Amino acid sequence: MSLLELREVTRTVLPPDQPALTILSGVDLTIEPRDHVSIVGRSGSGKSTLLNLLGLLDLPTSGEISFDDAPVRRLSTARRDRLRGAAIGFVFQQFNLLQGRTALENVTMPLLYSSGRTFWRRTKIAADMLDLVGLGHRLHSMPDRLSGGEQQRVAIARSLVRGPRLILADEPTGALDLDTGQSVMELIDEVAERTGAAQVVITHDPMIARRARRHFRLDRGILTPVDDPTLEPRTRREVREMAPAEATDAETDVDAVVGEAG
């Protein structure tokens, strides 16, 4: 049984006084338990729209989304919200931590919506999760006293504290330097391995995407599988967004290709 499946999914919006705009077209994607999938796409490719669909934040214009083989469209908004809260953890580029609240209080927040034993043990569960991400010594630190990498670790702990079955990471290293970004991705991989969660990482960075076991590229709303995202054609903008050391070599390659084409 698949965890999450998209079949012929299309998403169309109607801008004011403009023709209908198709953002996603015929997307097919199956996520299995413990899967690790990366999706590479530049700005405007439909990544945010796809993330909203994968996270059950939105419904497709056409096509079908199933979770545990059950059609999501048949769920009420309230049931979809409960399913998302229990089964899906989001890791964003922006940390979105509550200022004026300690690391422990930030991670405890999602557990306030739990019930029974989990609710009463929420502080211990949150503390254990922070210890798991290497911040057991910073439980009572405020966000403004933490480094960028530490803030992202708190955000990861908060997203995983309820034990989600699916982790959706949206440009999780975009606000971090190269070394910190790599350590954060290693941490997400480690936690996912321990908890048995599936991962979907959406990024513009082919090197981050390469850490996954299955790779896809999203371009103009069309999702296609690729063998190695680092070998796929890149635009000049994608080259500029990459790490400086890699960008130097890659931009030379791009210029050479452009020169030959010219």
pLDDT tens across the length of the chain (262 residues): 799 999 999 999 888 888 888 999 999 999 999 999 999 988 888 998 999 999 999 999 999 999 999 999 999 999 999 999 889 999 888 888 999 999 999 999 989 888 888 889 999 999 998 998 889 999 999 999 999 889 988 998 998 888 899 999 988 888 777 887 888 888 888 888 888 899 999 988 888 888 999 999 999 899 999 988 776 655 555 555 555 444 444 334 434 333 343 3
∠ CA 116-106-122, nearest 5°, is: 20
Q: Does residue 236 sit within a domain?
A: no
- Distances in Å between the Cα of 38 and the Cα atoms of 117, 137, 168, 205, 257 are 35, 32, 10, 10, 26
Residue 18, domain member (yes or no): yes
In a domain, 46, yes or no: yes
253 lies in some domain = no
The Cα–Cα gap between 152 and 175 comes to 9
Structure tokens at 79: 């049931």
Phi-psi group of 69: left, alpha or beta (phi > 0 → left; psi -120 to 50 → alpha; rest → beta): left
Output the domain CATH number for residue 221.
Answer: 3.40.50.300
Of all helices (H) and strands (E), which one includes residue 199? strand 198-203
Please report whether residue 244 resides in a domain. no
pTM reported for the whole predicted model: 0.80
Q: Would you say residue 136 lies in a domain?
A: yes
The number of distinct structural domains making up the chain is: 1
Give the largest CA-CA distance in the chain.
67
Closest CA relative to residue 109, chosen from 71, 159, 75: 159
Domain range for 47 is 4-231
| Distance (Å) of CA 68 to CA 1, 32, 111, 210, 229 | 7, 10, 23, 27, 28
Q: Give, for 246, the enclosing helix (H) or strand (E).
A: helix 244-261
> Is residue 245 in a domain?
no
